[in-house]
């Protein structure tokens, strides 16, 4: 592995990650984001040709090919989220954990990220667990939904179940706005 040029190029970066508490893309602006993806791919693939092929594949899947030479501070919030997803799936996980994947994104970019997560989950046959407060995201990509209230599992079901539940705490959370409450009362959902 140490003979791998991608590994040697960024091997010192892992020490940087570990020794600095802020690990997000903004703390490592001296690297092209592609180097971050290279590092993940280099951990899994030994053959250089495999690495280049895999990187090209993930970048094309995530519509990032034209941004290979950009630094993290030159990327939009949605692009940074896609880079994080590329790094995660490059490791061929069985499980993908997403903590607030749409945090800080506009509604349209949130939909792009939701669709990306759903597509990756299906294409790579992985189990994805999304922790979110974004109910649009839950209703858009959730297959099995778990509602945690006061630190405990409070409700579990499907999208169809969530729209019909009489669980007060869940309804108060989902239909918090006046608009959402009025829509629920009219039975449009």
> What is the model's pTM?
0.69
Q: What is the pLDDT of residue 21?
A: 33
Q: Is the pLDDT of residue 56 over 50?
A: yes
Answer whether residue 53 shows pLDDT above 80: no
52 phi/psi in degrees, rounded to 5: -60, -45
DSSP designation for 101: T
The average pLDDT across 68-92 equals 81
What pLDDT shows up at residue 33? 52
62-to-67, 85, 117 alpha-carbon distances in Å = 11, 9, 10
Model pLDDT, residue 170: 92
pLDDT, one tens digit per residue, over 121-139 is 999 899 999 999 998 899 8
Q: How many CB atoms lie within 10 A of CB 28?
A: 20
Residue closest to 35 by CA, chosen among 3, 63, 72: 72
- What is the rounded average pLDDT of the residues 4-27? 38
Residue 28: which of 4, 8, 12, 44 has the closest Cα?
12
Q: What is the predicted pLDDT for the residue at 150? A: 92
Q: Higher model confidence: residue 3 or residue 93?
A: 93
What percent of the chain lies above the pLDDT cut of 70?
Answer: 71
Which letter does DSSP use for residue 58 in this model?
H
């Amino acid at each position: 592995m140490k003979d791998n040029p991608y590994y040697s190029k960024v091997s010192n970066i892992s020490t940087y990650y570990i020794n600095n508490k802020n690990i997000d893309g903004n703390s490592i602006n001296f690297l092209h984001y592609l180097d971050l993806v290279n590092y993940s791919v280099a951990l899994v693939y030994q053959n250089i040709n495999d690495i280049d092929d895999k990187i090209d594949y993930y970048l094309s899947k995530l519509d990032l090919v034209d941004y290979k030479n950009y630094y993290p501070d030159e990327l939009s919030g949605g692009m940074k989220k896609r880079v994080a997803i590329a790094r995660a799936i490059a490791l061929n996980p069985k499980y993908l954990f997403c903590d607030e994947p749409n945090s800080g994104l506009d509604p349209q970019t949130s939909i792009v990220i939701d669709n990306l997560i759903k597509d990756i989950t299906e294409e790579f046959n992985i189990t994805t667990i999304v922790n979110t407060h974004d109910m649009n995201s839950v209703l858009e990509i959730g297959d099995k939904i778990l509602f945690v209230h006061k630190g405990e599992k409070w409700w579990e079901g499907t999208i169809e179940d969530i729209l019909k539940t009489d669980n007060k705490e869940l309804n108060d959370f989902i239909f918090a706005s006046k608009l959402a409450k009025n829509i629920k009362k009219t039975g449009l959902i």
